[in-house]
Structure 1
Amino acid sequence: MKSKYFKITAICLSCMLTILTCGSCSKGDSVRKEIEKLDKAKDADVIFVAIQHETGTSCDFYAYQKKDKKLSLAWQTEGYVGRSGVTDPTNRIAGDGSSPAGVYSLGECFGIYAAPDNMSLPYTVVDNDDYWNGDSSSPTYNQHVKGSEMPDSWDPSSSEHLIEYTTSYNYCAMINFNVDPAVPGKGSCIFLHCTYPTSKSSSGCIAIPEENMIKALQMMTEKSYIVIASSMEDLKVVDQY
């Protein structure tokens, strides 16, 4: 009797796991079909997708890699968006805590820790002299700078001293929002970075678990993009931002 009970329990658990896995795969496939419509998908090697949950600041995060000219889901996880959620980037201002919706290339890779093995892109290990410039009056606004090389007029208090962001910036990649040119007051320091254990949101960045951030850096090439959307419906029009 006990043997039959354990067999039935095992079958039920197996069925539940299959249902959950299939549901996850189904959504991942739906996301893939939408991003394949994007212009950037034609030449992309890698596309990351962050979709905010209906409530709160959590997000589903998907990593797609091109194989045989087709995007396939490499892995997925959960992460966090800005404390104000994902919003239209045209309305975004510095400090509002929102993550900008849209399709963005990924830029400089850096971190407090040494570069993960098998990266194909350059990576900078930051030290006490490294800042991300948040001074909107500066010609190097929203750029990685060395504090010792900045003019006396530069205000470091409005910038991020990168080495101080332990855990979050252990591994990091620039999301190319508000670049070329950087519009003063539009926002700076929008990154893809590691989650912080006690934080359930970011200041506008996309945060994912450290082990996934390492995998993201290892996947990235010069043709890598991130798609940020407030919902599945928003994903369908995200290239209009």
Structure 2
Amino acid sequence: MSLADMILTPQGLRYRGRLYPCSIGRTGVTRTKREGDKATPAGILHVTGLWYRPDRLAPPAPWARPIGPGDLWCDAPGHPAYNHHARAPLAASHERLRRADPLYDVILTTDWNWPDAVPGWGSAIFLHQWRRPRFGTEGCIAFARHDLIRIAAHAVLGTRIVIPEGLADQP
């Protein structure tokens, strides 16, 4: 492991010599991630994209993609676009990336169950803004806005996110 890796610890996410408080899935870390289990998957993930709301903030990095009104993420296990970016209209179950709240103003996408998604193994494992400190997510890793923007400014495609299996044994 190196300083360039993001490493989840019981105290937060360690990245580039700093420790960032974060929230994880409501049910903790799991080795057996499934759609809707509200758990963060153990393993080594990689950053695959950076999205931001151009109407709310400047791009956090030069490679960031703007989130538009029609940007979605498909979470329907039986759909061909499962766990992929999609565009409206989409009849299948999905998350809107352009939300009324600020949670997805900045999103780092990961390669959890991507690009060849296995139906039911979980979708939309992102790094995004938290609702409040230590408030559990649906499986994502969430941060204070200023910390997330700092993380996004330094991350690059392929940055490793290490979620130790040992955390799955933590209460």
Q: Give the TM bin, normalised by the shorter chain.
A: 0.7 to 0.9
Cα offset for 1:230?
5.8
Question: Distance in 2 between the 1:96 and 1:133 partners?
Answer: 17
Q: How does 1:97-136 map to 2 (within 5 A)?
A: 97-112=38-53, 113-117=56-60, 119-120=61-62, 122-136=63-77
> 2-side partners of 1:124 and 1:87: how far apart?
30
Task: State the Cα distance separating 1:165 from its structure 2 match.
Answer: 5.7
With the length of structure 1 as denominator, give the TM-score of the two structures. 0.63
* From 188, 192, 211, the counterpart of 2:146: 211
Q: Secondary structure at the match of 2:135?
A: coil
User: Matches of residues 64-103 of structure 1 in structure 2 within 5 Å?
Assistant: 64=16, 73=17, 75-88=18-31, 91-103=32-44
Q: Which has the higher contact order (CA 8 A, sep 6+)?
A: 2
> Which residue, out of 42, 47, 51, partners 2:5?
47
Larger helix share, 1 or 2: 1
Aligned residues: 167
Kept after mapping to 1: 8 A contact 2:30/2:168: no
In structure 1, what is the equivalent of residue 97 of structure 2?
Answer: 162
CA distances 1:8-49 after superposition (whole Å, capped 9, x unpaired) = xxxxxxxxxxxxxxxxxxxxxxxxxxx35xxxxxxxx82111
Q: In structure 1, how many angstroms separate the alpha carbons of the residues matched to 2:78 and 2:168?
A: 37
Shift in Å at residue 199 of structure 1? 6.5
Contact 1:134 1:189 in 2 (8 A): yes
Q: Which runs of 5+ in 1 are unaligned?
A: 1-34, 37-44, 54-58, 65-72, 235-241
Bigger Cα Rg: 1
Q: Is the 8 A contact 1:46 1:221 kept in 2?
A: no
The amino acid of 1:140's aligned partner reads: A
Equivalent residue, structure 2, for 1:68: none
List structure 1 runs of 4+ shifted beyond 2 angstroms: 111-117, 229-234
Task: Normalising by structure 2, report the TM-score.
Answer: 0.86
Return closer, same or farther for 1:232/1:130 CA change in 2, 3 Å cut-off.
closer
Match of 1:6 in 2: none
Asked if the contact 1:114/1:125 (under 8 Å) is kept, the reply is: no
Q: Quick one: structure 1 residues 223 and 93, their matched pair in 2 at CA, closer, same or farther if it must change by over 3 Å?
A: closer
Identity %: 25
Counterpart of 2:160? 225
Please state whether the residue corresponding to 1:227 is helix, strand or coil: strand
User: 1:131·1:161 contact (CA, 8 Å) conserved in 2?
Assistant: yes
